[in-house]
Structure formats: structure tokens, C-alpha cells
Structure 1
Amino acid sequence: MGSGNAIRGSRVGAGPMGEAERGDAAPRVWVTFYCANRHETRPSFATDVAVPETWDCPRCGFPAGQDSDNPPAPPKTEPYKTHLAYVKERRSDEDGEAILEEALSKLRQKRAAVKRALEAAGRN
């Protein structure tokens, strides 16, 4: 039922790409990196580029170095902080009291102005 000599899934010009069509591959060097969990990673780099000091481990995400006996230490994770915790780091208790008092005085002034406006409207 087919058309006989048609090759399914191909088109004109499609074919295996060889070195002649792609060009020559850049010379590569494979460097071994080790993380704190003793995972070994071997990415390849072009020979004409500088190899980085550390590489992120694809298995655990820790930084990896080239010395298997002394890999980089895992990063310190900070516990989650609330907005209030960050505010307390930046402000002292005295600063907080001063800011609170300023905000309360503004609120009291607004309430007094609204109260006066309502009383004035009730008189007319």
C-alpha cells in the first residue's frame, strides 16, 4: 500500500551529519571535580579556555573542586527569617518605639480631623 521507494521520515537534504558538514570539533579536555558528598563529575572544556576552580555537582548541587582529598565545604544554609526578623536586625527597640509613636500620632491626627469634619457637617 505504500509508494514503494519512499523513505518514511526523511526529506530532501536530510542525512547523517558527518565531520565534513559540521566542521571539526574543538579539542577538549576532561576535568574531574569532587564535591563534599564524594560525587565525581567530569565535564569537558575546550582546551583554549580557563577551567573554573569550582563546578556545581549535578547530583547534589554542592560546589565541587579538583582536589579529591579536600573538596569545597558545602554552603551554609540560613534558616528562614520572617519580615519581622529582618526588621529587628535593622532597627533597635528604641527606633521601633519612635517609629510606632510617629505612626500613632499621625493616625490620631487623621481621626481628629475626620471627627471635626463630621461634627461640622452635622451642624450645618
Structure 2
Amino acid sequence: MGSGNAIRGSRVGAGPMGEAERGEAAPRVRVPFWCANMHETRPSFASDAAVPEFWDCPRCGLPAGQDEANPPAPPRNEPYKTHLAYVKERRSDKDGAQILAEALERLRSSSRPIY
């Protein structure tokens, strides 16, 4: 005896199967892109769509361009900077000493005790 599943082999909510029921696919064009590691990828685009200048390489993640002889250079990664490094770029040691002196003066002049 069966398990009572009459729609075996199909999922709930599935529409009609086959190309004829879905309609015709839009005309496509495959465009080659090359990255700095010379990986080639050929994504397909609708023939009337604008093709982007760059595409991310699915193998290494570098940007890829359409010119095989001159692929785009890998992006330059800046090292991680701490908050203090960014502050030091904006402020000199003299500015820092002045700000510290002002903050200490405000604390000393307040009526609350400093712990």
C-alpha cells in the first residue's frame, strides 16, 4: 500500500514544468572577462542590457575586465588602522597636549571630587 502521497516527485507550489509553459527566454549574449590572475569568466547578459565594465572573478574575487591583454590591477588593500591612528593623522602632539590641558583644567575646576 502507498503512503497516500498523490503528487510524488513534485514540490508544493511548483508551477507547470517545461519551457513551453514558462515562455521564451530572452536573447542572451556571453561576454568574456579576465582578472589579473588570467582567470576567464563568461557571464551571460540579456542582449539589450548594458554590460558592466568590470566583473568580479568567481575563482579569486579580483576585478575582471574585458581586455584580456590588460586586465584591471588588483585593488590596493590598506592595512587596518586603529582609532588612535586616525586621530594622530588629524591632530599633532601639540594639539593633543592642548586638548588634554583643557580637559584637566575643566575637571580641576569642577566642584565634584575626582576619584
Same fold (TM over 0.5): yes
TM-score by length of 1: 0.78
What is the Cα deviation at residue 100 of structure 1?
A: 1.0
Which residue number corresponds to residue 59 of structure 2? 59
SS at the partner of 2:34? strand
Q: Deviations over 1:41-70 (max 9, x none)?
A: 110000111111110111111100011111
- Cα distance in 1 for residues equivalent to 2:95 and 2:20: 72
**Unpaired segments of 5 or more residues in structure 2?**
none
More helix, by proportion: 1
What is the Cα deviation at residue 17 of structure 1?
A: 1.9
Q: Identity of aligned pairs, percent?
A: 79
Q: Deviations over 1:24-50 (max 9, x none)?
A: 101000001000111111100001111
| Aligned positions of 1:1-124 closer than 5 A | 1-2=1-2, 6=6, 8-10=8-10, 17-110=17-110, 113-115=111-113
Matched letter for residue 87 of structure 1: V
SS at the partner of 2:53? coil
Structure 1 vs Structure 2 CA RMSD: 2.4
Q: Deviations over 1:93-124 (max 9, x none)?
A: 222111111111111122xx135xxxxxxxxx
- Cα distance in 1 for residues equivalent to 2:85 and 2:3: 74
TM-score by length of 2: 0.84
**Unpaired segments of 5 or more residues in structure 1?**
116-124
- Cα distance in 1 for residues equivalent to 2:53 and 2:79: 28
- Cα distance in 1 for residues equivalent to 2:42 and 2:3: 48
Matched letter for residue 2 of structure 2: G
- Cα distance in 1 for residues equivalent to 2:41 and 2:35: 8
Matched letter for residue 41 of structure 1: T
